[in-house]
Structure 1
Amino acid sequence: MNNRSYVINHWSFKACDETEWKPARVPGTVHTDLFRNGLIPNPFDGTNEHDLQWIDRKDWEYETSFELDEAWFALPRLELVFDGLDTYADVTVNGVHVLSADNMFRVWRIDVKPLLQQGTNKMVVRFRSPIAEDLPKLEGLGYDLPAPNDQSELGGLGDRRVSVFARKAPYHYGWDWGPRFVTSGIWREVRLEGWCGPVIRDLSIRQDRVNASVAELTAVAEVETAERWEGQLRVTNGEQTWERSVVLEPGTQAVEVPAVISEPKLWWCRGLGEPAMYNFRAELVANGGQAPLAEASVRTGLRDIKLVRETDAAGASFRFELNGVPVFAKGANHIPNDSFLTEVTDERYRHEIASAAESGMNMLRVWGGGIYEQDVFYELCDEYGILVWQDFMFACSMYPGDPKFLDSVTHEAEDNIKRLRNHPCIALWCGNNEIDSAWAHYLEDKGWGWKQSYTTEQREKLWADYEAVFHEILPKAVERLANGVAYWPSSPLRRLTGDEFQHANELSGEGDIHYWGVWHAVEPFDNYNLRVGRFMSEYGFQSFPELKSVLTYAPESELALESDIMLAHQKNGRGNQLIKEYMDLYLPTPKDFKSFLYMSQVLQAEAIRTAIEAHRRNKPYCMGTLYWQMNDCWPVASWAGMDYYGRWKALQYTVRRSFREVMLAISEPESGPISVSVVSDLQHPVEAQLRLSLYDFQGTLLKEQTLEVRAAADSVVEAVVFARAEWLEGRDPRQVVLHAILEIEGQAVDSKPYYFASAKELSLPTANITVQEEAGSGGSRYTLVSDALARQVWISAEEEGIFSDNYFDLIPGIPVTVEFRRRGGESSVEPFVAGNPGKLTVRSMIDFV
């Protein structure tokens, strides 16, 4: 092969109205280049965000020089390839304009051979201010478009919200968990590619029929050639080879090669089997030749994934089936890991996906206000067996519908579907986040109050523009390119009907649901038990990160709920006060603000535990629970279970217990007996022993009962029901705890405490906890014992890492052994490595009140 590829590095940057060039990092952003050059302070510190809003008003330019030897010019085609330009960019090569880019999510490829020269070549990329670019579009439209998360006031724009006009990550303009940093920059790789003869532009493995017996596949190669060419297209997976003769005409064409694999190793998500992967390579070989003239390879898994929506007595199902097996989706919503995307290393991605796997998840939703993630994200989801619900990048806004915008969206969809379609993790393409329910076109008194601000003519125009994107362009692109993966127009949605039955309602019995009554509507936690839909794709509750993380953006003097810095790092309006209001309802009063941080995490974990257990208890009516949210893009008080630094909150440990394959769930309706259920996601029946033990807070065993439990495959069984009085027998409900433990073949698979009074009412004793290192563990395993009930025991380590369990209750006489695993780091292939945590600090709730 004579094809060549060269990554272009060594960039400098400056503001267009300045003269001094500074070193730049590509991929990168203006903000991070300014920070690295000492020209701005850390954007995440204190209230610095407010002082850095000038950056997006300027135009910026990047330049580089690169050397080409004569060998390059023997190739008939030389192309510049930009994998990502953020966002409005003009590119010149040796002083000649070659490209005007206007979509962050697209790949740009330009033939530049006539402009290049042997020796030194110069390239300049000039980024136009996205604010200056889009304000005229808003003025030309004549009316605002709804975009409530666009923090235009912070950006000095008043109520002029321009985010919807840019095909750029929506969260860059702010969100209710993220800052407003409207970036510019070369955010993905830049290459020069040279080629001659035919070239394979894209290789897709279409999975026509896949089951345990056979995989009937079609390798589809997109081939470009400048001249007519005859030869063979050969496809191999390392064990088998398939080929066909081809005649290529000048231009681009798709060439298909059928392939059959008998008894394939299937790709499974976590909990159902191993995520087996295959490598496929396609080669173009000239007639009579042996060496390939062009080649391409992909790595994929063979699987059959379906979204099943079948009418039933309650409405219609909403579940995923993988290789014919129903999947109860357990997971969370993913947002970008940083406000500055190029700061996210492969290690940070691995830490997130490994944390999801460690937490028992089998699905992540890539939410529509961020980005189509980097390749490594999906590669890791493939590797760890994590299904991906993939939104297109539209969220909580109405968008324009002019021909240029629609054309840009069409190319964006094509680029990203083609890039991601070989990943077996992709389970669904979803048009947008919350727009159908926010606008609620067919119900005058529903929605978010948007449409009432518009005339009838404007409403119809906005809805027609909406339908052009989400009911025409995107579903057609998915049908044509996504190799059979389903499309869902908007989340949440009941079904696509074109009438009032389309818009989501948590009690409708069909579609997916975003339930925010708890939190936004200040409803009680118990409402999680009442508001259960067929698939819970969003719900959540906030907390603060731990003190170590808070101190990275706030000094000790600012550790107060309503301090300027604490409010700057709380993007959800009344968020801090909401946490306090709920805490006043459910938990003891913390003794100071540092204790408040801890207690907020305990509160968040209790809320989401209640929700997850309710959703899993209602299987198979409910077949998915994805809480909001997995991660953070900066250090902040938010709904995340894992903070910006990757530190697990109490929520992440609670989720890990709540997503166990076999789980105990204890519930007590307001008027009714206490119920203990066993939820099993195992694909085979289980026989278990359930032991219920009542203790006082000093560890005295007051009563005990053992029951045999049989659970069918993939089922929920109510193991026992009893009245409170039956176990309390007149004892003070504030001073006893019921401990439930479930054993299978003598091994504990889950255990749970149950309290007969709220955490706020419990008479917690002073607890002394002893910690003993396990012999032979190399300092990685420790056994904890308490002399009195210790609630929400928090073990913190000097080293960064995770424990096998944390934020658990210690009942006297029942030891708990935990293992510490250090975070692997950039140089490690393992995300977590058993090791010494350094100094351990162990505290429980009594220490914070």
Structure 2
Amino acid sequence: MKLISNVLLLIILSGLVACSPQIKKQSATTIELNSGWQFSEADQNEWRTASVPGCVHTDLLNHELIEDPFYRLNEHNMQWIDKKDWEYKTTFTIDKSTYSKEQIALNFEGLDTYADVYLNDQLILKADNMFRGWEVDCKNVLNEGENTLRVYFHSPIKVGLDIYDNYPYVVQSSANDLAKIGQVPGEKWVSPHVRKAPYQFGWDWGPRLVTSGIWEPVTLKAWDNAQLVTIHTQQKVLNDSEAKLTSTFEIEATADETAQLAINIDGQQLANKKVHLKKGTHTYPIDFTIENPQRWWSNGLGEAHLYQLEGELSTSAGTESFEHTLGLRTIELVREDDEVGRSFYFKLNGQPVFMKGANYIPNDVFLDRVSPEKYEHIIKSAADCHFNMLRVWGGGIYEKEIFYDLCDKYGILVWQDFMFACNMYPGHPEFLESVKHEADYNVRRLRNHPSIALWCGNNEILAAWFGWGWKEDNEKTQPEGAKAMWQAYKDIFLDVLPSAVNEFDPDRQYWASSPQAGDTIRTNKIDGDEHDWRIWFQDVPFITYHDGAARFVSEYGFQSFPELKTVKKYALPEDYDINSEVMKSHQRSFIGNGAIKRYMDNYYRNPKDFESFLYVGLLLQAEGIRTGIEGHRINMPTTMGSLYWQLNDVWPVASWSSIDYYGNWKALQYFTRKAFAPIMAVPDTKTDDLLIYAVSDKFEDTPAQLNLEILDFEGKQLWSHSADVNIKANTSTIVFKEALKSLLKNINTSQVVLSTKLSVDNKLVYETTSYFKEAKDLILPKPNINTKVEKVAKGYQITVSTDKLAKNLYLSYDEAEGWFSDNYFDLLPGESKTIVFETKEDINNLQKQLLIRTIQDTY
């Protein structure tokens, strides 16, 4: 959603002069103040050009005053930056026409974090919260002509330390506040006290780089009579014939006046209304109806149809507009008693929908570096792999508008956390008041997006207090502090945040903490959502994901390092060892390398070198999470959600991500495209029986043909089965079962592969390969792989074929930026596969330079 600037409207309307007898007079002038900025370390008076939106780290980097913080161990040398105060300044000119307006306000959409704002050397604002915007009436200190604007940023660490040292108790934080790396005196946890992005203080996948700066745009708005602050559109009735809606205009007026309101949908006026404005800020509803409405559906279930809504306010001073997209749909979190316990699933447009997706974190530790193209790549990658939900995790940021616009466009529902994660928080009145403003601001900002499905109070705080020993530890060491922290929890997550949702977005539901069981304290498998970390922390087999899945799994994951071409961007060849200082610094999980190595020993042979280790590690992660996704889906409808940790990265690192920092798909991302397929057949080869589960997201039964083959690695068929099956709607059913003992009689299971194919109307819709032994126990042949490369519009078309099984065939070309349309796949003997290497670069003789690897090449 956005206010249409005066300049933009004049441009649009200028194009209509020939066909329109009148151009509407505009009541408001909006001026962007995002250029001409300079910055300096406070009191040093060494001014250099700055970027707004931006931050001090990227400004220092742009002037080559610091080295790349992500390269090798440079992060550790950057910790002085957050201990300093910094200043930003600019000048701007106000013409007579603008200055003559009745009201003029400065709007800062985001200040990070402790900022004193001076206009013409007068203090007009003291900001203390990164997560909200600030609007300041400023006409009384503004000059006609030239003006100076200066923002003084106090060190968030120094401010945090002052609060910490004077607070009556220590507010519990997690090990993710990397105060040691941050060189904080006494290694004190200041992050709970500071309302800025928690992940910047360090996490088990991220660096410690605590920023300051003007991280969102700055504008000046001048207006007469009245301004249209915002519009909130609520759906009252939705059926096949009509949608009845109400748009509530929030208007600030300088005096009582008569005004005209109008609603346009896709350029057609559907309603108008005369209203009597009252002085001050008030709301004015206007009802309208859309005939034969098209619903907004999540990815895979139908079109994510969007209408364009424009609301107009016309007064004697002119007309002002406010736009937002509109998606017509119903969304409900269903919590009902059933034979298992209590349900936890989302119903979209009256239909239960299994949620397929991941947890999402910011795309960079420096937020100004995330381009629109990067946002598009991440969200489109999710959509292309059949995701229908992303959880915006509570340790990052309330994302920028473009993120939600793209989720609206691609049909990705959003589980939206408030920005609280893995910490207890203070509960004094000033902190609670700041949180209230933060919550109000962001709920109001995001509520018109059809993609928003749920508001969630926090990440893992309830689980930490009652399950990680925090409650007991604090009751022993600081009993009054323990009592105060739990009261603060209740004040924030059971009062302030749900009150904001109830007041400003009453049509959506609120869930206090993730994970949580019912309305009580912790998770369990028969109720609520679960963070399932058994595999990572308890060394249990991947197949455990198939056992007793929870109602909704909102976190689970397994790590990998990125591929070599990414490692090359932050390390040197002498660092190519997971135990080198550089690689350990880019591995923030305290058990990370050990867990990867233990699981790798369980499933794969020991890789012969570092590059092979990276490749096998990527497969290990992909196989593990694929097993998890399939385990959740075959447990439909008991389990109705699978959101793995995590989709993306904030820097190049070993992490749980499926897309690395540079946007490269890991093996896991390719595997999700198959594991989240709308219709699939899941073989289970790890029990006494061979079981084939048919899983469908569709709302109708689907007749299909199931074809099974057991082949040896040379391509000889040892067994086959074909049958017509009925794939039941929106659930999982077993469509084949046979005892493995009889099925595999006289078959060497170390040398065979199970091919499973599913066809609908004789068209192949799903295929997969499975094994009866782990990869380390397979006797794999050396395949002869042939390639044929052709130049095509998007890059290069590559056809690969093999005479013998090529397990987890991997293609790479590190000398050009690009993307392979498929990778890490099994290629059966005698079969060929055509993929595309999408790149804008011209490559001489790609066929000879293309690197191809299979599992057999790693030992």
Instruction: State the alpha-carbon separation in 2 of the partners of residues 728 and 820 from structure 1.
Output: 39
Cα drift, residue 2 of structure 1: 3.5
Aligned counterpart, 1:548: 565
Q: Distance in 1 between matches of 2:699 and 2:836?
A: 29
Contact 2:789 2:847 in 1 (8 A): no
**In structure 2, what is the equivalent of residue 730 of structure 1?**
746
**Alignment CA distance shift 1:39-1:811 (3 Å):** same
Shift in CA distance, 373/453, structure 1 to aligned 2, threshold 3 Å = farther
State the distance in 2 between where 1:623 and 1:823 align.
Answer: 40
Tell me how far apart the structure 2 counterparts of residues 592 and 778 of structure 1 sit (CA, whole Å): 34
In structure 2, relative to structure 1, the CA distance for the partners of 1:503 and 1:837 (3 Å cut) is farther
**Equivalent pair of 1:199/1:295 in contact (CA under 8 Å):** no
Residue in structure 1 matched with residue 448 of structure 2 by the alignment: 422
TM-score by length of 1: 0.95
Deviation at 1:454, TM superposition (A): 4.1
Are residues 42 and 448 of structure 1, via their aligned partners in 2, closer, same or farther at CA, if it must alter by over 3 Å? farther
Which residue type is aligned with residue 280 of structure 2? G
Aligned ranges 1:211-610 → 2 under 5 Å: 211-237=239-265, 238-286=267-315, 292-440=318-466, 451-497=474-520, 502-505=521-524, 507=525, 509-610=526-627
Amino acid at match of 1:503: R
Unaligned runs of 5+ in 1: 825-835
Alignment match, 2:31: 6
Structure 1: distance between partners of 2:614 and 2:429: 50
Q: State the superposition RMSD in angstroms.
A: 1.8
d(CA) in 1 for partners of 2:378 and 2:365?
16
Residue 642 (str. 1) matches residue 659 (str. 2): yes
Q: CA deviation at 1:455?
A: 4.0
Partner of 2:834: 817
Separation of aligned partners in 2, 1:357 and 1:321: 19
Q: 1:616 — aligned with what?
A: 633
Q: Which residue pairs with 2:19 in the alignment?
A: none
Structure 1 position 96 matched with structure 2 position 122: yes
1:207 aligns with 2:232: no
User: How far apart are residue 280 of structure 1 and its match?
Assistant: 1.4
In structure 2, list runs of 5 or more residues that go unmatched.
Answer: 1-25
Aligned partner (choices 732, 737, 743) of residue 759 of structure 2: 743
- Asked if the contact 1:779–1:837 (Cα under 8 Å) also holds between the matched residues in 2, the reply is no
- 1:676/1:337 Cα in 2 relative to 1: closer, same or farther (>3 Å)? same
- Contact 1:439–1:451 (8 Å) recurs in 2: no
| Aligned-residue offset at 1:446 | 6.2
Q: More displaced, 135-144 or 322-331?
A: 135-144
Q: Say whether the 8 Å CA contact 2:425–2:489 is kept in structure 1.
A: yes
Corresponding letter in the other structure for 1:278: Y
State yes or no: 1:667 paired with 2:684: yes
Tell me, in whole angstroms, the C-alpha distance in 2 between the residues paired with 1:725 and 1:518.
28
Letter in 1 for 2:293: P
Q: 1:823 to 1:98 in 2, by over 3 A?
A: farther
- Alignment of 1:153 with 2:163, yes or no, is no
Q: Which amino acid aligns with 1:409?
A: V
Q: Superposed, which structure 2 residues align to 1:61-76 within 5 Å? A: 61-76=87-102
- Supply the distance in 2 between the matched residues of 1:527 and 1:187 (Cα, whole angstroms): 43
Question: Distance between the aligned counterparts of 2:358 and 2:282, measured in 1?
Answer: 40
- Cα distance, 1:664–1:337 mapped onto 2, change above 3 Å: same
CA distance in 1, matches of 2:790, 2:710: 29
Relative to structure 1, the CA distance from residue 371 to residue 450 in structure 2 (aligned partners, 3 Å threshold; closer, same or farther) is: farther
TM-superposed deviation, 1:369: 0.1
Once the 2 structures are TM-superposed, how far is the Cα of residue 144 of structure 1 from its aligned partner? Answer: 1.9
- AA in 2 matched with 1:20: E
Question: Deviation digits for residues 403-449 of structure 1, max 9, x if unmatched?
Answer: 01000111101110111111000000000000111102xx8x86786
- Cα deviation per residue 1:658-717 (whole Å; 9 max; x = unaligned)? 0100111111445x3121111111222111111111111111112211121111221212
Query: C-alpha distance in 2, partners of 1:377/1:450?
Result: 40
Deviations 1:29-68 (A, max 9, x none): 0000011111100010001111110100000000111112
Aligned partners of 1:231 and 1:838: how far apart in 2? Answer: 71
Cα gap change, 1:547 to 1:778, in 2 (>3 Å): closer
**Could you tell which deviates more after superposition, 455-464 or 635-644?**
455-464
Give the equivalent residue in structure 1 for 2:726. 710
Q: Deviations over 1:584-606 (max 9, x none)?
A: 11111110111101010000001
Distance 1:582 1:686, change over 3 A: same
- Give the TM-score taking structure 2 as reference length: 0.94
1:98-139 deviation per Cα after TM superposition (whole angstroms, max 9, x unaligned): 000000011101111111112221111000001111112112
Q: Which of 452-461 and 659-668 deviates more?
A: 452-461
Question: Equivalents in 1 of 2:441, 2:350: separation in Å?
Answer: 30
Q: Distance in 1 between matches of 2:553 and 2:518?
A: 15
1:576-630 CA distances to partner (integer Å, 9 max, x unpaired)?
Answer: 1211111011111110111101010000001001100000000000000000000
Deviates more, 1:691-700 or 1:357-366: 691-700
- Matched position secondary structure for 2:743: helix
* Structure 1 residue 821, shift from structure 2 partner: 3.3
| Separation in 1, partners of 2:609, 2:535 | 25
Residue 450 of structure 1: how far off its partner (Å): 5.0
1:31 and 2:47 correspond: no
Moved more, 768-777 or 575-584: 768-777
Please identify, of 54-63 and 450-459, the stretch whose mean Cα deviation from structure 2 is larger. 450-459
Question: Which stretch shows the higher mean deviation, 619-628 or 14-23?
Answer: 14-23
Determine if contact 2:787/2:847 at 8 Å carries over to the other structure: no
Q: Is the 8 A contact 2:788 2:847 kept in 1?
A: no
Partner residue, 1:131: 157
AA at the equivalent of 2:595: L
- Post-superposition offset of 1:211: 3.0
Instruction: State, as a whole percentage, how many aligned pairs show the same letter.
Output: 45
CA contact (8 A) 1:198 1:294 kept: no
Q: Which AA in structure 2 matches 1:759? A: A
AA of the residue aligned to 1:723: A
Q: CA deviation at 1:574?
A: 2.3
One-letter amino acid of the structure 1 residue matched with residue 314 of structure 2 = V
Q: Secondary structure at the match of 2:187?
A: coil
8 Å Cα contact 1:438/1:450 also seen in 2: no
Distance (Å, rounded) in 2 between the aligned partners of 1:328 and 1:281: 33
Are 2:646 and 1:625 aligned? no
How far did residue 94 of structure 1 move? 0.8
1:224 maps to a residue whose letter is: E
Deviates more, 1:99-108 or 1:478-487: 478-487
Cα deviation for residue 527 of structure 1 reads 1.5
Question: Which secondary structure state, in structure 2, belongs to the residue aligned with residue 293 of structure 1?
Answer: strand
Q: 1:168 aligns with which of 163, 184, 196?
A: 196
- Superposed displacement of residue 202, structure 1: 0.4
The match for 2:668 is 651
After superposing the two structures, state which structure 1 stretch, 166-175 or 521-530, moved more.
521-530
Q: How many residues align?
A: 825
For residues 680 and 449 of structure 1, what CA distance do their matches in structure 2 show? 45
- Secondary structure of the residue aligned to 1:315 is coil
Q: Give the corresponding residue for 1:832.
A: none
C-alpha distance in 2 between matches for 1:683 and 1:591: 48
Residue 684 of structure 1 pairs with residue 700 of structure 2: yes
Residue identity in the other structure for 1:476:
S
